[in-house]
Structure 1
Amino acid sequence: MTPPVLILAGSRPNGLDSVAAAEGVPHKVLARVGETTLLERVVVAARAYGASEVLVAANHPEVEDEVRRLGATLLPTASGPSESVALAFERTGAPLLVTTADHALLEPGWLAALVAGTPPDTDVSLMLARRAAVETAAPGSKRTWLSLADGDWSGCNLFFLATPTTPLAIAAWRRVEADRKRPWRIAARLGWGTLWNFLTGRLTMAQAVERIGRRIGIVAALVEAPDGRAAIDVDKPADLALVRALADPQK
């Protein structure tokens, strides 16, 4: 049986979002690409993958209505994304795939690639895309890059929680995400030897992920994205314009 998919669709703490404001919608995941909302596109991709259940963590009334319209399972949110994942995991257990509601280009094959690419005995894996792949798929796209010995990488908001050690896995995910724009902090947490390897350009992304996991007592792994578009989410109006262009290149 394929794992369930959790889609994070919570609101920002301050309630402000440039995409929602630009589109005139109450929440950015209700912005449309063609005839479908961002959230609907992600739910459809999860179902096409064959997810045993599609769950959406949301806390905005209009988003909750959209979840019900789509027939997905509505879950409450917590104080932040990682806490919302932990809350959902109490319901689902392992394994669980996690993504975000603004991952509007999500394809079923990417979910399958993450699961298939996760080595045996791995507790948590995450998908990242190489800069060359992203720039080939979306020339001119502005991403946040993590630069290590094997090049520049961008996160894909795709995580696979494979075993019951998820509380520790969520901690690893939270720390990497919190420092995604400050990779030296990720390295520093792992000790001076690892920090030196980072500063001297010897630490690869796979090594960084593996050592983060080992430091907190789990087995963590990187799965390289099969498509650079996997790194594109909708954080700002320019991202939405890019998603629309990529979703319908004829326009």
Structure 2
Amino acid sequence: MSDPVWTAILLAGQRPGVDPLAHAFGESWKAKVKVGGEAMLSRVARTLLAVPEIGRVIVMAQSPELLFDGDCAWLADEPRIETAHSDSGIATSVAAIAGSATAPWPVLVTTADHPLLTVPMIEAMLASGADADVAVGVVGRRTLLAAYPGNQRTWLKFRGEAWSGANLFVLRSDRAMAALTLWSEVERDRKKAVKLIAHFGPWLALRALTRTITLDAAMLAVGRKVGMVARPVALPFAEAGIDVDKPSDHALAEQILAARG
């Protein structure tokens, strides 16, 4: 049996108001900020299209048509690129198209502010968690800080390790919709670890806060509550945990891309 043809949803929108990173670099849209001489949106889209398993890329933003100029003009003519409009929340926007004719299963979700994304990172996500309805890419603190000491991330602390998200999510079937509903409910608290964990009940929250449960066990427990199987994918790539939200991230990403040559 041949490998499935994946749909990639590329999140390129931004929050209401002026985005600090976009403003710092004279852009209206964060996704258009250049890193390594190329707009982040263009760079991430090229990486996704370089993965043989990915058949189409859906660029999702409030006004995706406004993004396709300059470095990103080629996206308008690429037959594997489509667009979708986002609404008031990321999770509800993804849920509106995931599993539809526009974005059939299985689906990979990533973000335009991930210019360090590579084909091996994506391949690792697609190959992992085959027994899960949902897989979430994460990077361990030891992995990231061994390569980039002092780098500031939001860490979720569990038994044995602390983890940062890699902005990579695999959704394999209709059962993943439960995860999108859950994501929508906690989206406002995504940077507040205590509130996010407490959402899943006092026993699980206590175990997480006392670090007596691993991330893998915690995700399995959360999945059982909503009728799905969810697993983390611990990526061995430090750069997978570095997105570009602020000028210091931008400077680091520039250095890393320059070193890649």
Check if 1:74 corresponds to 2:83: yes
CA root-mean-square deviation: 2.0
Check if 1:52 corresponds to 2:16: no
Identify the match of residue 108 of structure 1 among 101, 107, 119.
119
Further displaced range: 63-72 or 84-93: 63-72
Further displaced range: 188-197 or 75-84: 188-197
User: Quick check: 2:6–2:55 contact (8 Å CA) kept in 1?
Assistant: yes
Counterpart code for 1:62 = L
User: Quick check: 1:119–1:221 contact (8 Å CA) kept in 2?
Assistant: no
Deviation track 1:186-223 (CA, whole Å, cap 9, x = no partner) reads 43333332233223320111112111111112111111
- % identity of equivalent residues: 34
In structure 2, the partner of 1:209 is: 219
User: Quick check: 2:20–2:246 contact (8 Å CA) kept in 1?
Assistant: yes
> Moved runs in structure 1, 4+ residues, more than 6 A?
none
Alpha-carbon offset, residue 169 of structure 1? 2.1
User: Quick check: 1:154–1:231 contact (8 Å CA) kept in 2?
Assistant: yes
1:199-238 → structure 2 map (5 Å cutoff)? 199-238=209-248
Identify the match of residue 34 of structure 1 among 25, 33, 36.
36
Further displaced range: 175-184 or 79-88: 175-184
User: Quick check: 2:11–2:111 contact (8 Å CA) kept in 1?
Assistant: yes
TM-score scaled by length of structure 2 = 0.88
Count of aligned pairs? 249
| Structure 1 stretches lacking a partner, 5+ long | none
Counterpart code for 1:69 = W
Alpha-carbon offset, residue 64 of structure 1? 4.0
Q: 1:5 aligns to what SS in structure 2?
A: strand
Write the distance in 1 (CA, Å) between the matches of 2:218 and 2:185: 12
Q: 1:52 aligns to what SS in structure 2?
A: strand
Write the distance in 1 (CA, Å) between the matches of 2:154 and 2:210: 21
In structure 1, the partner of 2:255 is: 245
Q: 1:110 to 1:174 in 2, by over 3 A?
A: farther
User: Quick check: 2:7–2:104 contact (8 Å CA) kept in 1?
Assistant: no
Write the distance in 2 (CA, Å) between the matches of 1:147 and 1:176: 18
Alpha-carbon offset, residue 138 of structure 1? 2.4
Check if 1:86 corresponds to 2:89: no
| Structure 2 stretches lacking a partner, 5+ long | none
Deviation track 1:94-122 (CA, whole Å, cap 9, x = no partner) reads 110000011110111111111211142x1
TM-score scaled by length of structure 1 = 0.91
